[in-house]
Amino acid sequence: MNIQENISLKSFNTFGIDKKAKFFVEVVSENEVREAITFANKKNVPLFILGGGSNILLTKDLEALVIKIEIIGIKVLEENEDQVFVEVGAGENWHSFVIQCIKNDWAGAENLSLIPGTVGASPMQNIGAYGVEIKDIFKSLQAIHRDTLQMKVFNAEECGFGYRESVFKNELKDQYVITKVVFALKKKPEFQIEYGAIKTTLEEMGIKTPSIASISQAVIHIRQSKLPDPKVIGNAGSFFKNPTVPFDFFQKLKNTYPEIPSFSNEQGVKIPAAWLIEQTGWKGKTFDKIGVHKNQPLVLVNYGGGDGYEIQVLSEKIQQSVLQKFGILLHPEVNFL
Ligand SMILES: Cc1cc2nc3c(=O)[nH]c(=O)nc-3n(C[C@H](O)[C@H](O)[C@H](O)COP(=O)(O)OP(=O)(O)OC[C@H]3O[C@@H](n4cnc5c(N)ncnc54)[C@H](O)[C@@H]3O)c2cc1C
């Protein structure tokens, strides 16, 4: 285990923010996780657990030990006629895992193609796209408690999954290091193609009978045409969550803004945050090296050399505008550091 000092995190976050870590280590096993935590305790510095850095905003240098999770491995634990249970190391790249699923004819992850980041971070905010969330294919995870160093297995219920939420962002925040995740994938696919442009994209691709491979290709195509590639323009995907408001509140909004897009759910009415931001005039606004993406206003961007704190200030101004115009407080999806 090689603990380095004063390392730039620029290449370890998709925003491309150039902030430093006091200590930095890559860990490849559960034992190394424990060793790294012990080191941080001895040095009396806090910990930060890093995956692919695609859902963080670095606003300052981290006076901490950054533990980058590199635990790899994909192993079939058990299978039956309908399902296959696959254990995946937390450091595996999410999209590479999805591709492995497709190659093996394991269904369920295809709609989640091309989401950046690691498998270990996927339960943190119950990643989701195109009508599917990881909770739909999740069986359990293993995590090490940061104080006791004991391993605990969490089932789906214990993870408290919600829309871009889990217990690890709330009650158990900063308490566990996720080391492995077990997925329950299906042998008989149940295609989800109603959401977004999947159906029309499949038609444009000339596909009459969908397969998990063609759905994955359609999702990749849609994502590449809609979202900026972090390798080209620094970003962390959707900066804010889509807010859900009560039905009666929505009805009043609808009277004022009849064109407001919406999706009803059990909790109320979900409104696309991108629409709210666009209506407040922020779409495409650029401020020196940072800004709001010109096509996708939900994505804040670093054009190169931008500062994380300035992106935070910009996000607060957007929140303020949306609150003033619509009475809705947007909550960030990105984790601020
Ligand atoms: C272009 C783009 C598109 C995106 N699209 C989507 C999308 O469609 N849907 C979606 O849900 N998200 C999306 N995201 C957000 C991001 O990809 C996910 O949140 C992803 O799961 C983050 O993984 P990561 O490994 O990069 O996590 P990081 O950014 O490294 O970490 C995120 C949080 O998880 C914690 N963490 C990471 N690994 C562990 C671990 N092993 N144990 C404990 N804590 C850990 C970190 O401490 C941090 O708090 C997108 C991001 C980008 C840049």
- Residue 333 annotated to the active site: yes
Prediction pTM value: 0.95
Indicate the average pLDDT of the chain.
Answer: 96
The architecture that CATH gives domain 74-226 is 2-Layer Sandwich (3.30)
Q: From ligand 1's centre to the CA of 154, what distance in Å? A: 19
164 is annotated as an active-site residue: yes
**Which residues share a beta bridge with 79?**
84
Atom of ligand 1 nearest to the CA of 169: 49
Token pair 């297995």 in the structure block, residue: 153
- When pLDDT is cut at 50, 70 and 90, the band that residue 196 belongs to is confident
Return the H-helix or E-strand segment holding 21.
strand 20-27
Q: 């424990």: which residue's tokens?
A: 34
- pLDDT tens for 53-89 read 999 999 999 999 999 999 999 999 999 999 999 999 9
Query: Is domain 234-336 in CATH 1.10.240.10, yes or no?
Result: no
Round the CA-based radius of gyration of the chain to a whole number and report it: 20
Same fold, 4-69 and 234-336: no
Query: Active-site residue 315, yes or no?
Result: no
Return the ligand 1 atom nearest residue 56 CA.
29
Which letter does DSSP use for residue 106 in this model?
-
Point out the catalytic residue in the list 87, 164, 166, 315.
164
What are the residue boundaries of the structural domains of the chain, listed by start?
4-69, 74-226, 234-336
Q: 4-69 has which fold?
A: 3.30.43
Which uninterrupted H or E stretch holds 244?
strand 244-245
Give the Å distance between the CA of 12 and the centre of ligand 1.
Answer: 12
Binned at pLDDT 50, 70 and 90, residue 186 comes out as very high
Give the pLDDT score at 265. Answer: 86
